[in-house]
Amino acid sequence: MNGSWTRSVEPLPPPELRSEKNCRESRPLNALASVAGTTTLIGRFERIAAASPSNIAASCGSESITYGDLNRAANRIAHALLALQPASEAIVAIYIHRSVAMLAAMLGVLKAGCAYLPIDPGYPPARVADTLEDAAPAALITSTHLASGLPALPFPTLLLPQPAEKTDDSNPPLRSTPDSLAYLMYTSGSTGKPKGVLVTQRNVMRLFTQTDHWFRFDATDVWTMFHSFAFDFSVWEIWGPLLTGGRLVIVPFEISRATEEFYALLSAERVTILNQTPSAFYLLDQVDAAGPALPLFLRTVIFGGEALQYPALRNWFQRHGDRTPRLINMYGITETTVHVTYREVTAADAQAETDSLIGEPIPDLHLHILDPDLKPVRDGEDGELCIGGDGVARGYLNRPELTAQRFVPDPFSASGGLLYRSGDLARRRADGQLVYLGRNDHQVKINGFRIELGEVEAAVAAVPGVRQVCVLAQPGPDGRQRLAAYFVAEGNAPFSAHTLSQFLSERSPAQMLPSFYIQMPAFPLTSNGKIDRAALPKPVSGSLAPALETGTPMQQRVAAVWREVLEAPSVSLDENFFDIGGTSILLIRIRKELQDQLARQIPITWMFECTTIRAIADRLSNAADPTATESSSPVLTPSLGQAQEQARRQRDAFARMRSSKGGRS
């Protein structure tokens, strides 16, 4: 590598913890639950902070914090919130970029007896405003920079960092119980508005105690927080290390979107526990295969967020085997607290299995495949997957009718409780294996995010001049789902894709932006008068303009790569990549292909700043290789140190991309 990412590794933990780590298999089942005073998230965290105050709890770039300092930072926030006299279980919104301050805010909210609401700063202002309006939080925790972009708010704002010399940093008395609300997490909503899921501390604590016999997480483990704080996979990523004394590496957003840099980070930080959506892991697998191979220290890779295709893991298993690391598939839902099932994936599975197998339920959950009347179907028949047990959340905030529809009395439990109707289809095979089949409604998964097509349709319908909308998920060139928006305009007035994407990018998060906009004179109808979705034309990537025939050699080279990756017959010099079927995942593939062809490093920000052939070709022709030196040959794996030094500029570039170009996930 040209340059490196280095960090001194913290010393071994105290002997009383070290002996337990050296014999994982001898630990009792549910070891987390066996420790007194750990029935709440904060009770467990404070015990670890007191036992190992000098151990590193988390890092983000060049910043790191010990358990003791993180506990004190959280206490300062808790005391500042307590001065506002919040009600028990009051909701406090956290609107902060990925950082150790974000963790301190989350812990501080819980220490104050409140529940945290994570909001991604990458979301458009309209989405942030909708969330804050629906949640009506008691307070907002944010930074001075982010606060400057918000309108006047009807609740107090707490700015970070809190001055250490002016705020009490002692542990406040515990104000929560296991049944207290832990967080409010918003997911896509079919009515055009996101819906908030209410999850308790007991829901989260039992997620780790009930899976401890499978994973044996401990203080030697190093985790990454790869996903958005507002995506429920982050609950597993954050609380996994904080409840077991491990170390959390918070991955800056720009590194999470640059696979080579993330691969190098995994090696340099000696990460042992990696959590990935399958889409993200497939990209990581390609980088690992392309070389140069870096030493990895992974012991477990956990998949979640979307269906896992087992054959896609064949090449990984050929290089690494299936024991180190172990690869685990975990199906899950926000409403049932992140994970529901567990299945270890083997090399034999990758060779033989074509079904998406999701495994066995977490011990305190029970799964049923039911018909519309909530009656069990026979083995081999398709049905709705319904989940009961201790992971089921309280319901939806401010949505009593929807809560009653989806969270129903559990007819299979002698002790009562709720059964969550997931809307997912499944089938039990003759061999007992559970197969995930997808959705039974208009909900889809896009790169792990659960998207209600109705919410996307409502957003497109809000565009002035649009009369009728239908949104479908369609497979792209890489096999991953992409959104296609079909619309009819008032008077059939012509609309450009760029006009629509620009309107939506100011209101919807990136994962909810269509990759295609297809204008129709009218929608085809079925015999009963509904839109005939099967008759809608398949979206086609690329430009309507003739294929590029002239241009500079660099423009010709870039155009050829675009056509190959988009599987498009035509691309023009000045059309935006995101307006002709492109996504950020495909743009990363284009970046890698250009790097291989040109034998030079291309900063990930260039790709998002220059989203036309002309722009990126000019940048590549006129700018020097940012990693080249007089004494070294070109290197294709970038320096993580350089990436970190450019973090602020990269974050700004991604923000500009999201707001002005409508970049798709």
Around 139, how many Cα atoms within 13 Å sit in the side-chain half-sphere? 26
* pLDDT, tens only, 591-648: 989 998 998 989 888 988 898 999 999 999 988 665 543 333 223 333 344 333 333 3
Q: Which domain holds residue 520?
A: 451-535
Question: The domain spanning residue 562 has which CATH number?
Answer: 1.10.1200.10
Residue 358 lies in a domain: no
Q: Among 195-204, 237-246, 341-350, 616-625, which stretch is predicted with the lowest mean pLDDT?
A: 616-625
Positive or negative, the CA dihedral 290, 356, 265, 589 is: positive
Region 530-553 average pLDDT: 72
In a domain, 279, yes or no: no
User: Which residues 6+ apart lie within 8 Å of 8 measured at CB?
Assistant: none
**How far apart are the C-alpha atoms of 370 and 384, rounded to whole Å?**
5
| Single residue among 487, 508, 535 that ends a domain in this structure | 535
* 564 and 520 within one domain: no
The residue from 535, 569, 594 where one domain ends is 535
Q: Both tokens of residue 60?
A: 């983000």
* Mean pLDDT of all residues belonging to the chain: 83
- Per-residue pLDDT, 420: 98
Q: Which among 499, 643, 520 is positioned nearest to 5, based on CA atoms?
A: 643
**CB of 4 within 8 A of CB of 640?**
yes
Cα angle value 361/366/369 (rounded, 5°): 95
- Asked if residue 560 and residue 644 are part of one domain, the reply reads yes
Residue 622's contacts (CB-CB under 8 Å, 6 or more residues apart) are none
State the amino acid at position 112 in one-letter form.
A
**CA–CA distance, 69 with 651 (Å, rounded to integer):** 27
Q: Which two tokens stand for residue 7?
A: 């960090």
CA distance 513 to 565: 20
Q: Is residue 34 part of a domain?
A: no
Asked whether residue 607 is domain-assigned, the answer is yes
Q: What are phi and psi of 463, to 5 degrees?
A: -70, 125
No. of H helices and E strands in the chain? 23, 26
**By CB neighbour count within 10 A (0-12 exposed, 13-18 middle, 19+ buried), where does 20 fall?**
middle
Residue 230 — pLDDT band, cuts 50, 70, 90?
Answer: very high
> Counting Cβ atoms within 10 Å, is residue 537 exposed (0-12), middle (13-18) or buried (19+)?
exposed
* 474 and 573, same domain (yes or no): no
Whether 531 is in a domain gets the answer: yes
Same domain, 558 and 479: no
- pLDDT, residue 189, reads 65
Helix (H, G, I), strand (E, B) or coil at 140: strand
Residue 660 scores a pLDDT above 70: no
Closest Cα to residue 406, out of 179, 189, 133, 90? 189
Say what the pLDDT of residue 526 is: 58
Model confidence over 354-396: pLDDT tens digits? 888 999 999 999 999 999 999 999 999 999 999 999 999 999 9
Distance between CA 610 and CA 590 in Å, rounded? 12
Same domain, 641 and 571: yes
Same domain, 656 and 559: yes
Which residue, of 489, 507, 535, is where some domain finishes? 535
Mean pLDDT of 525-538: 69
Sorted by sequence, the CB contacts under 8 Å of residue 350 that are 6+ apart come out as: 310, 311, 312, 313, 314, 317
Residues 560 and 641 in one domain: yes
Same domain for 528 and 579, yes or no, is: no
Of the listed ranges 60-64, 245-249, 585-589, 601-605, the one predicted with least confidence:
585-589
Q: What is the CATH number of the domain that holds 470?
A: 3.30.300.30
Domain co-membership, 575 together with 477:
no
CB atoms within 10 A of CB 619: 16
Residue 497 within any structural domain of the chain: yes
Contact between residue 95 and residue 155 where contact means Cβ atoms under 8 Å apart: no
Residue 588: per-residue pLDDT: 85
DSSP string for residues in 428-493 = E-TTS-EEEEEESSSEEEETTEEEEHHHHHHHHHTSTTEEEEEEEEEE-TTS-EEEEEEEEEGGG-
pLDDT for 359 equals 96
* Cβ-contact 339, 330 below 8 angstroms: yes
Question: What CA–CA distance (Å, rounded) separates 233 from 253?
Answer: 15
Q: Please give the pLDDT value at position 478.
A: 58
In this structure, is residue 589 part of a structural domain? yes
Do 4 and 641 form a contact (C-beta atoms < 8 A)?
yes
Q: What band does 537 get if pLDDT is binned at 50, 70 and 90?
A: confident
Confidence at 10, pLDDT banded by 50, 70, 90: very low
pLDDT above 70 (res 26) = no
Q: Which residue has better confidence, 472 or 78?
A: 78
The count of structural domains within the chain is: 2
Do 478 and 559 lie in one domain? The reply is no
| pLDDT higher than threshold 60 for residue 649 | no
Is residue 509 domain-shared with residue 572, that is, in the same domain?
Answer: no
Establish if 483 belongs to a structural domain: yes
Same domain membership, residue 514 and residue 559: no
* Predicted structure pTM score: 0.74
